[in-house]
């Protein structure tokens, strides 16, 4: 979840969380041994936004949440403006109360591409509020969130646009398109790309029961998702919490029960920039924001369907992702060495049991779930040891 009155330019604070969780959880499980497997509308805020009408002329809307990103925005926009004919795409730059030159740069691009780029200025609402505004104003059949300090691979984007144009002409277009994403770590020559080979069949329309079991490091993050706009706005009714960190996890989770059909393209589309010291995925920062982590996971719990309401493959994935996020919260509450946070950890697990009892049983059956619920000093010691392994071997900060 994003907190503070502003959302920060380098947003890997949000979506790198499952990766950190995987590493930390792997450390815990090294101690005990690993054995991980894993239809309702969700409105996560009271702030209602009147949605725009989609138009058949626009296939894809890029939503670019922007706060104090004048040094990054040009690179991002240039990666989206790849076609000679841009008539079926639009770019919504949501200027979220920036204090630097972001607004002026955005207006400059709007003047250069008046039929493609629209700038929306708003008071600062944080990353979630900026995404809400973009999705509400999207006119495209599909919507892709691209944070302003990230960019897309141009060749991959051409292939993705070709497929979306095909879907726009189809009688039964898919609800979700999934692609790969690459970590662009400043100063690192070797890139890590998250792919879904072996989990998702490539280039064909799928149902959730065509989906195989995900590894702990394979999670459907915001970077990998292109939703059909109708799914987000009309079916899921998604509205992210404002002024809250880590809401990407909600965006990548809560709408999934409304997705009936999906497709995976093995394209390394999204370039996820990690380059700033002191980001909010660091240990001390996350401990300070425990309340934000808890709020996000509670929202995810509330969005978790009954296993009889959704396909088995979808429920299995949602338990997988919920388990990772429960682990992250539990680990950082224990690492805080604060007795109040020990109590809050127990309360979070009690909330899961009360509000999603079937999911609670499924999460607790995993090796991770069992490890996280070993009571007392022994359980906390295992978590500390697991985090230490993750820090020293995997390189988690």
List the pLDDT tens digit at each of the 397 positions of the chain: 333 444 444 444 455 566 555 555 555 554 444 333 334 444 444 444 567 777 669 999 999 999 999 999 999 999 999 987 789 999 999 999 999 999 999 999 999 999 999 999 999 999 999 999 999 999 999 999 999 999 999 999 999 999 999 999 999 999 999 999 999 887 777 788 999 999 999 999 999 999 999 998 899 999 999 999 999 999 999 999 999 999 999 999 999 999 999 999 999 999 999 865 544 457 788 899 999 999 999 999 999 999 999 999 999 999 999 999 999 999 999 999 999 999 999 999 999 999 999 999 999 999 999 989 989 898 899 888 887 777 666 555 5
pLDDT at residue 387 in the model: 79
For residue 49, tell me if it sits in a domain: no
Least Cα distance to 12 among 228, 276, 224, 235 occurs for 276
- Phi first, then psi, for residue 165 (nearest 5°) are -65, -35
User: How high is the pLDDT of residue 252?
Assistant: 99
The pLDDT score that the predictor gives to residue 231 is 98
Question: What pLDDT is stored for residue 11 in this prediction?
Answer: 45
Contacts for 196 with CB less than 8 Å, ≥ 6 apart:
178, 180, 214, 218, 224, 264, 266
Q: Are residues 219 and 316 in the same domain?
A: no
Boundary residue ending a domain (252, 274, 296) = 274
296 and 325 housed in the same domain: yes
96 and 170 together in one domain: yes
Q: Say yes or no: 195 and 295 in one domain.
A: no
pLDDT at 392: 66
Predicted model pTM: 0.86
pLDDT at 4: 40
CA geometry: angle 321, 324, 329, nearest 5 deg:
125
* Domain assignment of residue 203, yes or no: yes
Please indicate, yes or no, whether residues 72 and 29 belong to a single structural domain of this protein.
Answer: no
What pLDDT is stored for residue 24 in this prediction?
A: 57
> Pick from 216, 249, 274: which residue ends a domain?
274
Q: Which pLDDT score, from 0 to 100, does residue 63 have? A: 99
């Amino acid at each position: 979840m994003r907190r503070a009155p502003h959302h920060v330019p380098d947003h890997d604070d949000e979506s790198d969380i499952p990766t950190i969780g995987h590493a930390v959880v792997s450390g815990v499980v090294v101690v005990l041994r690993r054995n991980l497997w894993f239809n309702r509308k969700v409105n996560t805020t009271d702030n209602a936004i009147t949605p725009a009408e989609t138009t058949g002329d626009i296939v894809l809307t890029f939503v670019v949440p922007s706060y104090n990103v004048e040094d990054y925005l040009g690179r991002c926009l240039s990666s989206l403006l790849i076609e000679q004919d841009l008539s079926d795409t639009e770019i919504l730059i949501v200027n979220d109360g920036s204090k630097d030159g972001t607004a002026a740069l955005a207006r400059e691009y709007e003047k250069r591409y008046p039929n493609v780029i629209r700038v929306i200025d708003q008071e600062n609402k944080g990353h979630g509020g900026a995404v809400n505004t973009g999705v509400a104003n999207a006119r495209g059949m599909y919507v892709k969130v691209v944070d302003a300090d990230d960019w897309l691979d141009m060749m991959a984007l051409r292939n993705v646009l070709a497929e979306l144009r095909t879907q726009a002409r189809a009688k039964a277009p898919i609800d979700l398109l999934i692609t790969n994403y690459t970590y662009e770590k400043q100063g690192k020559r070797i890139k890590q790309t998250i792919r879904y080979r072996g989990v998702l069949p490539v280039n064909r329309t799928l149902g959730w029961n065509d989906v195989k079991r995900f590894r702990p490091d394979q999670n459907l993050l915001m970077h990998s998702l292109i939703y059909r706009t109708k799914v987000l706005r009309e079916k899921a009714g998604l509205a992210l919490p404002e002024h809250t960190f880590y809401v990407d996890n909600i965006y990548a989770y809560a709408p999934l029960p409304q997705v009936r059909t999906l497709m995976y393209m093995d394209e390394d589309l999204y370039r996820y920039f990690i380059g700033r010291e002191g980001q909010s995925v660091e240990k001390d920062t996350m401990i300070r924001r425990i309340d934000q982590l808890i709020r996000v996971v509670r929202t995810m719990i509330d969005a978790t369907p009954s296993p009889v309401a959704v396909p088995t493959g979808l429920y299995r994935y949602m338990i997988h992702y919920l388990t990772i996020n429960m682990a992250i919260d539990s680990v950082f509450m224990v690492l805080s060495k604060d007795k109040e946070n020990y109590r809050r950890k127990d309360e979070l697990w009690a909330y899961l049991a009360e509000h999603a009892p079937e999911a609670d049983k499924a999460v607790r059956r995993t090796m991770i779930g069992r490890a996280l619920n070993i009571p007392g000093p022994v359980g906390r010691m295992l978590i500390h040891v697991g985090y230490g392994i993750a820090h020293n071997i995997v390189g988690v900060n």
